[in-house]
Amino acid sequence: MAEIDHCCSTQLIDGEGEFNVVGLDNFIRTTKLTNCGLSYAVLAIMGPQSSGKSTLLNHLFQTNFREMDAFRGRSQTTKGIWIANCVGIDPFTVAMDLEGTDGRERGEDDTTFEKQSALFALAIADIVLINMWCHDIGREQAANKPLLKTVFQVMMRLFSPRKTTLLFVVRDKTKTPLEYLEPILSEDIQKIWNAVSKPESHKDTPLSEFFNVEVTALSSFEEKEDLFKEQVAQLRQRFFNSISPGGLAGDRQGVVPAAGFSFSAQQIWRVIKENKDLDLPAHKVMVATVRCEEIANEKLHHLSSNEDWLALEEAVQCGPVSGFGRRLSSILETYFSGYDIETFYFDHGVRNAKRKQLESKSLDFVHPAYLNLLGHFRFKALEDFKSRLEQMLNIGEGFAASICTSTESCMLEFDQGYADAAIKQANWDASKVKEKLCRDINAHALSVQDAKLSELVVSYEKQLGQSLSEPVESLFDNAGRDTWASIRKLLTRETGIAVSEFSAAISSFELDQSTVEKMLQDLKDYARNVVEKKAREEAGKVLIRMKDRFSAVFSHDNDSMPRVWTGKEDIKTITKGARTASLSLLSVMVAIRLDGKPGEIENILFSSLMEGTVTAVSSVDRSITTSDPLASSSWEEVMVSPKSILITPVQCKSLWRQFKAETEYTVTQAISAQEAYKQSNNWLPPPWAIVAMVVLGFNEFMLLLSDVGSDGHPRAVSTWHSGWANLYLVEVSSHHHESSKATCRRGSRASN
């Protein structure tokens, strides 16, 4: 009884045609049918009601199907379709006990379930046992004829043959030998086959294309029980290795893997109940499709909750993970191989298609972690690049060489990380991440390069500023005819030095020739701008410098000694010389002349301002005539670029006027100093005053000599002294008045 309990008898379809899904799933789970793959067989038994079908199955396969109690009368025992595990049979075999045909309970006209169950058995079973009475063989209206006709008719509704084995079990065998019964039975079967209407595609198809026909006979169970059991034991042996070549179902076709048996049975019954044509090959693909997809989804769900994967994913969130590719490959392989095992027996095309979908979904699921890991590798490689580059530059390595070495090192590091992260199930392309790393490296390198070059440029610009600014200012202090030539020489020398040193400094950057040339030209332009800026600054102070120049020349002699105005100096000449020197300074500051072009500015200024050329002004409209070369806002006539002009002709004229006005007082003071010097050295009166004094003072002199006062002194002496003093004061006062008038006139002439 222990073995019988293992059969797990279950009603698959009840008498009303309801499919027992829960019962079937429990049967499959209990018997572990899903582990069988294709190594299992399904057999069904059909036949007239109360013909001993259940009894035969119970003795053949140690099942426990309900049997009819003969003492209580003959009636329907099996309702619907029942299944059970054939105990002790290898391979795993499922026995299917169908409700008997031709039962009075359903009536003569209610053959719907009969046909449905027959079609279901043919679609599911590899071996169909047809239970029939021996005494019905050869009878035209025997009970086997309607049954066979039903079997053949429903078989025509299948899309293609499954090569089902029809095993006719002749019950209650008589004394007639089996070899005599077989031809009669075969002939009857062929007549039925020929009489059944067939579709056009199978009009000429022989019976052997659809069925393997086998015949066996058993003695009466009631009359010869021992013999019956002996014959059943012999028949049982034929079900061992039934699916192997040469077995009862050795050439079966369209087998559904055990993992899809439940779904397949449900779908077949649904199609049969809906009275639709059953396309078994399409059904096989459909079952494979559904089951493979279910298995794939199950594997994907398990992957998403796998502890190893969750730990790996969490670790990747924090930073690089060593052995990522190996660990992830192992996790994925576990589920992919599990899928392969569970779907091995399903349709090859469907199985592979669903596996690809599983791979795609699984790889899509884990790919973000992979990208996150590559992001960590990229970030680390970039940081290492920055660190290595800074270290190499600090120890004096060339910039381009440092960039190359640092780049190779960090790219190698990234490639190693990428190789470690690769999984064998996918050939993920890391080129975009690598390109991003290259862009980041190039951007940082360019940033550092710009910073370093900027530092160099600033340094050399500062050097040029220091080497040019003060010397140029000094040259402008002593401006003369050769000032711009000296400035050009200074600019050329200092620029050459700076350009040479700068070119050597940037050689380690390995810049392209056009960039080097541009940077050198920019440095040259900067040097020129320093000079031009200084020139513009000095041009703004030209009036002060002109006055300082005038004062220096006017107030000092050729030996640079301060002048002492003794009256012997030619103030007019000195004034002209001082103004000439000031005008020469103005001519230097009028325009920037770094190109060395000869100009006529100095000549124009001297001819216009020193030689008396004046602007002619109309008394009517006060307009400036064209005879004045300084009546213009540019020096176009002397080939000076507008950008080089520091002081326009009109401004020169205005400055000169202001200069003369502000220096005239100095000239006046000099003239006054001369006159004062002369007066301080000239104490005798003029000759005519001496003659007048002699003539007019003779009588007083004589009187003085003859007249002596009471004190013993001549009284004429005091009188003479008084007269002489008065005369002298009158004369000196008159002479000083005339002298002042003359001084004013001479100063006015000198200033002009």
Q: Are residues 691 and 670 in the same domain?
A: no
Residue 480: is its pLDDT beyond 50?
Answer: yes
- Residue 87: band (very low, low, confident or very high) from pLDDT cuts 50, 70, 90: very high
Query: What DSSP character marks residue 107?
Result: -
Q: Are residues 166 and 48 in the same domain?
A: yes
Give the pLDDT confidence score for residue 38 in this predicted structure.
Answer: 87
Decide: 149 and 196 in contact? Cβ < 8 Å: yes
In-domain check, residue 403: no
Residue 694: is its pLDDT beyond 70?
Answer: yes
Residue 530: is its pLDDT beyond 80?
Answer: yes
In-domain check, residue 20: yes
Residue 281: is its pLDDT beyond 90?
Answer: no
- Residue 751: band (very low, low, confident or very high) from pLDDT cuts 50, 70, 90: very low
Q: List Cα–Cα distances, 528 to 3, 77, 465, 535, in angstroms.
A: 112, 120, 10, 10
Q: List Cα–Cα distances, 671 to 266, 591, 657, 682, in angstroms.
A: 137, 35, 21, 17
Q: Are residues 698 and 666 in the same domain?
A: no
405/400 Cα distance (integer angstroms): 9
CATH number at residue 173: 3.40.50.300
479/584 Cα distance (integer angstroms): 8
Give the pLDDT confidence score for residue 728 in this predicted structure.
Answer: 44
Residue 626: is its pLDDT beyond 70?
Answer: no
453 vs 160, which has greater pLDDT? 453
> Average model confidence (pLDDT) for the chain?
82
- Residue 588: band (very low, low, confident or very high) from pLDDT cuts 50, 70, 90: confident
- Per-residue pLDDT tens digits for 227-260: 999 999 999 999 999 999 989 998 888 788 888 8
Percent of all residues in the chain with a pLDDT value above 70, rounded to a whole number = 81
Q: Which two tokens stand for residue 263?
A: 């779904």
Q: Are residues 605 and 631 in the same domain?
A: yes
Residue 126: is its pLDDT beyond 50?
Answer: yes
- Per-residue pLDDT tens digits for 454-464: 999 999 999 99
In-domain check, residue 80: yes
Smallest CA-to-CA distance from 124 within 221, 228, 213, 42 is with: 42
Q: Are residues 201 and 54 in the same domain?
A: yes
Give the pLDDT confidence score for residue 373 in this predicted structure.
Answer: 93
Smallest CA-to-CA distance from 648 within 638, 636, 635 is with: 635
Average pLDDT in the 112-116 region? 80
- Residue 701: band (very low, low, confident or very high) from pLDDT cuts 50, 70, 90: low
279 vs 1, which has greater pLDDT? 279
Full strand arrangement of the beta sheet holding 211-217: 10-13, 81-85, 92-98, 40-46, 127-133, 164-171, 211-217
Query: What DSSP character marks residue 40?
Result: E
Q: Are residues 92 and 152 in the same domain?
A: yes
- Per-residue pLDDT tens digits for 510-529: 889 999 999 999 999 999 99
466 vs 735, which has greater pLDDT? 466
Q: Which of 135-144, 166-175, 197-206, 415-424 shows the lowest mean pLDDT across its residues?
A: 135-144
- Residue 24: band (very low, low, confident or very high) from pLDDT cuts 50, 70, 90: very high
Residues 6+ apart with CB under 8 A from 313: 366, 369
**Is 607 annotated for ligand binding?**
no
Decide: 35 and 258 in contact? Cβ < 8 Å: yes
Residue 752: is its pLDDT beyond 60?
Answer: no
Residue 748: is its pLDDT beyond 90?
Answer: no
Q: Are residues 28 and 51 in the same domain?
A: yes
Helix ranges (H only) for 506-648 are 513-540, 542-555, 571-589, 601-605
Q: Are residues 646 and 691 in the same domain?
A: no
In-domain check, residue 273: no
Give the pLDDT confidence score for residue 47 in this predicted structure.
Answer: 83
609 vs 150, which has greater pLDDT? 609
Q: Are residues 472 and 605 in the same domain?
A: no
- Residue 271: band (very low, low, confident or very high) from pLDDT cuts 50, 70, 90: confident
Give the pLDDT confidence score for residue 529 in this predicted structure.
Answer: 92
**Is 52 annotated for ligand binding?**
yes
Q: Are residues 136 and 67 in the same domain?
A: yes
**Is 53 annotated for ligand binding?**
yes
Of the candidates 649, 675, 701, which is a domain's last residue? 675
In-domain check, residue 218: yes
**Is 47 annotated for ligand binding?**
yes
- Per-residue pLDDT tens digits for 340-394: 988 888 888 999 999 999 999 999 999 999 999 999 999 999 999 999 999 999 9
54/218 Cα distance (integer angstroms): 15
| Most confident range, picked from 79-83, 92-96, 650-654, 676-680 | 92-96
Give the pLDDT confidence score for residue 460 in this predicted structure.
Answer: 92
Sign (positive or negative) of CA dihedral 218, 223, 224, 229: positive
**Is 54 annotated for ligand binding?**
yes
Give the pLDDT confidence score for residue 73 in this predicted structure.
Answer: 44
Residue 136: is its pLDDT beyond 50?
Answer: yes
Decide: 100 and 48 in contact? Cβ < 8 Å: yes
Of the candidates 675, 694, 710, which is a domain's last residue? 675
Phi-psi category of 252—alpha, beta or left, where left has phi over 0 and alpha has psi -120 to 50? beta
Residue 306: is its pLDDT beyond 90?
Answer: yes
Percent of all residues in the chain with a pLDDT value above 90, rounded to a whole number = 38
In-domain check, residue 396: no
Smallest CA-to-CA distance from 63 within 76, 53, 51, 71 is with: 53
Q: Which residue has the tokens 């001519």?
A: 587
319/98 Cα distance (integer angstroms): 65
How many structural domains are present in the chain? 5
Q: Which domain covers residue 700, as residue numbers?
A: 683-751
Residue 213: is its pLDDT beyond 90?
Answer: no
Q: Which of 241-250, 539-548, 585-594, 661-670 shows the lowest mean pLDDT across its residues?
A: 585-594
725/721 Cα distance (integer angstroms): 6
- Per-residue pLDDT tens digits for 550-571: 888 888 888 888 888 887 888 8
In-domain check, residue 261: no
In-domain check, residue 21: yes
Residue 727: is its pLDDT beyond 50?
Answer: no
Give the pLDDT confidence score for residue 317 in this predicted structure.
Answer: 92
Give the pLDDT confidence score for residue 614 in this predicted structure.
Answer: 43
Q: Are residues 416 and 457 in the same domain?
A: no
Q: Are residues 233 and 308 in the same domain?
A: no
196 vs 168, which has greater pLDDT? 168
Residue 684: is its pLDDT beyond 90?
Answer: no
**Is 751 annotated for ligand binding?**
no
Give the pLDDT confidence score for residue 628 in this predicted structure.
Answer: 75
Give the pLDDT confidence score for residue 442 in this predicted structure.
Answer: 93
Give the pLDDT confidence score for residue 703 in this predicted structure.
Answer: 67
Indicate the burial class of 671 (C-beta count within 10 angstroms; 0-12, 13-18, 19 or more).
buried
Residue 647: is its pLDDT beyond 60?
Answer: yes
Give the pLDDT confidence score for residue 619 in this predicted structure.
Answer: 40
